Every structure is written in structure tokens, then in C-alpha cells.
Chains A and B, each alone.
Chain A
């Protein structure tokens, strides 16, 4: 069954992409604005995070409370998140309420009140979240490894730093948002039950007159630390490893995803079997794939008690290095089935679809059909995977540990 895809570009540079799904009654909209954390100036790191709260504290004719109540009354589940490249505003609701939600979001991006009186609590929430990271070692670990791995400022912790957030003032953040909230480069993705003409007209009417300056390119620095240990009296040692992978645009992309699935696709995957099933060293071990536009990595996370941490690291490294020795045909076909099946199941969720559409358009400038992706996954051969491992070898690893004691990192390839 072919997907019902639609694309429409507005004169101000905004692109609307959509997938109509007739078997559901919900519709999700994701607005990806190129105002992510990596675009925060270094001395204002955390600006996007504070901004993501502040934008919802009143817009257009509604004050903060009226705005929230209006979204609530429409049964809108909204969620704001700051990623490296984008500020993401997501709204999931019944399809029949999408038009009303579009109107409210038009106000949020075009006419946010950004008034002095609502500023401090937004800043305070981000400062508290930064403290919260200290109480949650796993989250801290996942944020820090990205920061170490990606060329700065691409991997920056979206919450910024206490010093930079503290220095933000209403005036500084207003200026920042005025310079960064731009229709040019913004992608609005919608998936679910809607009428395309009505959606397109709604977006034109509410976002067509949005004005803003196109975002500047981000200046990239070189990554600094390859290995780091953060001493902390935790019950478990957090171990994170990362190395480069193919980006979504790369011809080796699907081979890279296969590698990640072989490592960590399910309970039969190599890391799970070797580290947890055979040796009982951990409860949690996972390898994730993450991609920005020009950089991507595979990130491994393991958590284990201090006395077993070194062994966990050694076994994990062994598993990673063994990739070069080859992969079995049945492991390859398992990985393919898992990737394809996840794709089909994801197609049943309107919010997963909206995010995927926005991601496809951002990375590839087009929408990929299920058929196209399936064929690309199916085409990956063992040779492709081995070639991939030549181009993206498990070498030059970035490693972060958080826990009571430092581990021996000389075993890193």
C-alpha cells in the first residue's frame, strides 16, 4: 500500500510535509525549527531550552494560562524538546482538532509574548533540570558522551550550563529568539487523519506571514577529550562508548544500521548475549545509532556495579572488535527483519510518523516510502557490512565513565 505523502513549500522558506493515514483518528504535528542547542551562542548555552518554555507563556491574544487551557481543551498532548539542530514542538490530538491546534502554534512562533514577568520561572526550570541531571547518572552519562563525541558545539547538552543559563536575561533571550526563530529551514510534519487541502491552507494562513532571518551556519570546533572519568558515589558505574558511523545521507547508512542491530537489535544480539546472558554482568546494555546532518555515531551504554565494571568494559570491547572477524548470514537476516518490522510498526503511530517525516526531509530533502526503505535494507549484503566496517571501523573510541573509580582505558581500540 503506497503512502499518501504530500509536500508544500511556503514562500517564506518553510516546508510542510505530511502523510495522510485513513485508518486512524489522531493526527500529530511536529514543528522542527532550526534553533537547536548547537545554535545557542557559547556564552548563552541553554538559551533554546529556556526559550522552549518561554514560548508557551502566552502568545497572540492568549496569556500563558489561556494558551495552556486552549491546548488542553483540544485534548492536545504537546511536548517541546531541544535537540542539537532543532527546537522541536510536537502536538498530538484527534485529527478533527488539528486545525485549531495549527492556529495556536502559529501564534506561538509568530507572536510569543516573551514578557519579563514570565521569564524567571522558565530559567529556574532549566536550572533545576541541570541539578536533576546530577541525581540521574544514566541521563548525565548519555548527555555527556554526546558532548564529548560530536565536534563542539554539536553535542552540547541542550540544557546548557548553570553559569550561562544564570546570565540569561529577558532582553538577551528575546534577541536570541528573534534571531533564531525563522520559517526559513523550518519543517512542519503532520501524520494521521486530516484533509490535505484544509491542512495546507491552515498552515499557509497561520505560518505564511511568519517572518524571520535564515539561520547562520554553526562554526564547528574539534572534539576535545577522548576519555573521561567523572567520580561519583553511585551504585553502578556508567560506561559509555562512541565511535563514528555513517550519516543518513551516506551510501553506507543501511549497512551501519545493520551493524548496530547485530550489536544490540534484540535479546539475541551480540552485546546482550555476551555481556548479560552469558556472564550476567549487567542489567542494561545497549548500542544506539544517532545521526546529525553531517556526523553520526554508534553509542554504547552499560551500567554495572564497580567490582564488575572492568570486566564489563573488556567483554564489551571484545564484542565490538569481533565485528571485524565477520558476521553470520542468519544474524544479517535477523537484523534485516528487525529493522523492517520496526519500520512497519512505527507506521502505526502518528507521532512516530510525524517525527520520521521531519527527519527524512531534513536529512534527505525527500520522504522515503516504506517500499524504498525495505528494498534498501534488503539489498545489504555481508560484503556491504564488511566494507562498512572498513570505512567506519571500531577505532578511536570515545569513552566516558561515571562512578566511584576510574577504569583502565588502555584497552580501547
Chain B
């Protein structure tokens, strides 16, 4: 593994983790913009994600069909995603297509944003929103983020509300693009069998004329609500329960202990929640994940069960958390959690695509490069005491709670 980094004059950063023995390479543009950067949200909520779609709809020299066809011609595995904080465009190809891929991805980053494509794609966005409305787990997560973050911009829905999408104008999108897609707000990351010199040359040729301007992100103080609410939906058969509590941020060194803690508590097998809820079938699903974010973070607990067991399941989870805060983890379960994380990271790291997001986000959040081996070493060094200390610092029961389901049937 070899790490390389460079910057163009306009501020675009390029990072690469080169693995000569890989069979493919992955590449992505990481834009530091997402739903939290959408203000006013009543007017432009959902624009980041909509814009992500629009980048596939053509440039000055490429039609939407050209873009799709070129990806397909390279046999690329490609897509894009938008979160509260980032918009990422990525593809994996065989090494011979490196230059052609960058030519395409780089061009896409300066989209034509044609009005007629905007109107057609608006329908697709509305269909995507409808699709997620049929997924209770997604509805729960969206509403719970809103409940937990309140007035903070992290409460913004990534997809946006249908009425906001309906009334969003083409001009709104152009304005947003011009405020957020500055090269200094974008990182180009590449992993796998990368030809570094060719990458830099092509990036210079494709991206150096992008105009730089300052981009900022608002980070107002957090005021987690820690309220408990319920949404009744009689059409559902099962009760979906979510809990969000504060956690270390992506910049915080204690994120390693937080990762170990969430694995001990809420991994899908062998965790505290697994033994308390899944093994005795009090719930069919129960997990706790750690999600580090820009300047903050959350622990997200999810439980899914039948309505008659919902109260009991939540109570058991809260009791488990109280007990964990009091007594901390055992040596044995800390070790098992660390091994699971190390093993999962190794498996993921064997694919260029698997390393791409790690490389890109290391740079976006921390302006650093961490080889996988270092990352694993940091995890393996975590002690039960550190996890216990973290559990006392971040009280999992000091949480915003939302339930979605049919409620108790009398």
C-alpha cells in the first residue's frame, strides 16, 4: 500500500491508496455537502440529493444517455449517495479504464443542469420518496433524526419532503450548486491499482478550470431533545423502535472506543442486545450502531418486534444500557468485539470499493490518511476501562425515542 496526496491550484485535493496487487480500482468525488447544508430547509430541503441525481443528467458535452452508456461501456460498478453531510459519486473499473473514468466523473462534476431534465428527474425523486414511505425502518429513522436534532440542521431529511421537492425551482438548484461545489469543498479519492501520475495529469486536465470560492458549514450548538414520541400506523404489523443518543464525533479520538462499545452492545450477533432480545426472541431485530459525524455523533438503537412485546423490549434494552453504564464490559466481550471489527475491516479493505469510502472520509473529516493496519491497531488497543469510561460519558439512556407501528392492540 502506498499513499499519495496532491492538490490542484484551485484547491481540489487528490488522495490515493495504491495497491499494486489489486485487480481493479475505485475512484470517487467526495463533496462536503448534504442535507445539513440546506438552508432555508423549507425552501430547498432535499436539494443535495436531487442534485446528486442531476449530475448523471449530462454536461455541456455529454447527454444523460452518453453518461450512462460510457459507464456501461467500461463495465463500471458505479453509483452515488447523499447523506446529511456528504455527496459522493463513485465507480469501480478495471485499471485500463482509469483515465476514461476520470474524464467522465470529472466532467459530471460540472453538470449542465438542464431545465427539462430537472423536471423529469423531479418525478424520479418523488418516486424515490414514495418507495421509502413503504419502508417503516426508514420512516422511523427520518422522523427520529428530526425529533432528536430539533432546530439543528442535522434534523433535515436527506430526501426532503414531497411538497418541498414539488416546489423546488431550477434556479434554487443552480444557486445551491454554485454555493457548494467549489473545488476546495471536494476531494477526489482513488484506491486499488491506481496509476498516480496519470491520475494527477488527468485531474489537472479535467478539473483545474473549476473556479474556487469559499464554502462554509454552519455548526450551531446542539440541543438534543431526548423526548419520547410515538407514531401510530395501523397498517403496520410490527412495532419499530428507535433510540438516538449523543456519541463522539468523527474528529474525536474516542471514536475507536465508541466503535468497540457499539459492537459490544449492539452488534447483530453476540452482543448485549442480541442475548437480551434476539436469542429469547423478544425482538426479531435489535442493534446499536455508532455513527460519527462532523463535530458530533450518535448512537442509533433499532428494535423491531411484535406490538405486544414492544414495551418489554424497550425496557430490557434500557436496563441493559443502565447495567452496562454501571459495570462496563468484560475482558472477553471487549476482545471479541475488537476481533469482529478488525475482521470486518479487513474483509472490506480487500476490495478497492471497500477502502474508497474510508480513504475519502478520512480526508473529508480529518485531513489525514490512516492505513488500514493503523486503524486496526487503534481498535485492538482499546481496553475495557476505556469503553466503560466512554459509556459513563455518553449515557445511552439519555436518548430521544420514537416508536412507529400499530401500537398496543386491546
Given A128-B305, A129-B284, verify A266-B71 contact (CB < 8 Å). Answer: yes
As a 0/1 sequence over residues 260 to 279 of chain B, the CB contacts with chain A under 8 angstroms (1 = contact) are 00000000011000110011
Number of chain A residues whose Cβ lies closer than 8 Å to a Cβ of chain B: 75
In the assembled complex, B408 has its CB within 8 A of some CB on chain A? no
Distance in angstroms from A102 CB to nearest chain B CB is: 16
B-side contacts of A279, CB under 8 Å: 120
A-side contacts of B120, CB under 8 Å: 277-280
Given A77-B344, A266-B71, verify A72-B94 contact (CB < 8 Å). Answer: no
- B187-206 interface with A by 8 A CB criterion: none
Contact status B72-A265, CB under 8 Å: yes
In the assembled complex, B312 has its CB within 8 A of some CB on chain A? no
In the assembled complex, B123 has its CB within 8 A of some CB on chain A? yes
B-side contacts of A341, CB under 8 Å: 24, 74-77, 93-94
Contact status B131-A303, CB under 8 Å: yes
Contact status B127-A277, CB under 8 Å: no
B-side contacts of A288, CB under 8 Å: none
Of B72, B122, B281, B284, the contact of A266 (CB 8 Å cutoff): B72
- A337-368 interface with B by 8 A CB criterion: 337-342, 344-345, 347-351
Contact status A267-B336, CB under 8 Å: no
Given A77-B347, A344-B94, A348-B24, verify A305-B130 contact (CB < 8 Å). Answer: yes
In the assembled complex, B146 has its CB within 8 A of some CB on chain A? no
B-side contacts of A273, CB under 8 Å: 65, 68
Contact status A342-B68, CB under 8 Å: no
- A118-153 interface with B by 8 A CB criterion: 120-125, 128-129, 131-132, 134-138
Given A280-B123, A341-B93, A342-B75, verify A72-B270 contact (CB < 8 Å). Answer: yes
B-side contacts of A123, CB under 8 Å: 281
Of A25, A137, A280, A337, the contact of B75 (CB 8 Å cutoff): A337
CA–CA, A72 and B67, complex, Å: 44
In the assembled complex, B352 has its CB within 8 A of some CB on chain A? yes
As a 0/1 sequence over residues 115 to 136 of chain B, the CB contacts with chain A under 8 angstroms (1 = contact) are 0000011111111101101111
Contact status A283-B284, CB under 8 Å: no
Contact status A236-B77, CB under 8 Å: no
Contact status A349-B350, CB under 8 Å: yes
Stretch at the interface among A9-17, A32-40, A62-70: A62-70
Residue of B69, B77, B127, B128 with most chain A CB atoms under a 10 A cut-off: B127
As a 0/1 sequence over residues 321 to 335 of chain B, the CB contacts with chain A under 8 angstroms (1 = contact) are 000000000001001
B-side contacts of A188, CB under 8 Å: none
Binding site for A on B (CB under 8 A): 21-24, 56, 64-65, 67-69, 71-78, 92-94, 120-128, 130-131, 133-136, 235-238, 269-270, 274-275, 278-281, 283-284, 304-306, 332, 335-337, 339-340, 342-344, 346-347, 350-352
Binding site for B on A (CB under 8 A): 23-26, 57, 64-65, 68-69, 71-78, 92-94, 97, 120-125, 128-129, 131-132, 134-138, 233-236, 265-269, 272-273, 276-284, 303-305, 330, 333-334, 337-342, 344-345, 347-351
- Seed contacts A277-B64, A280-B123, A334-B69; 12 additional CB < 8 Å A-B pairs: A69-B270, A73-B335, A128-B238, A131-B237, A235-B134, A280-B121, A281-B127, A303-B127, A341-B77, A341-B93, A344-B24, A348-B23
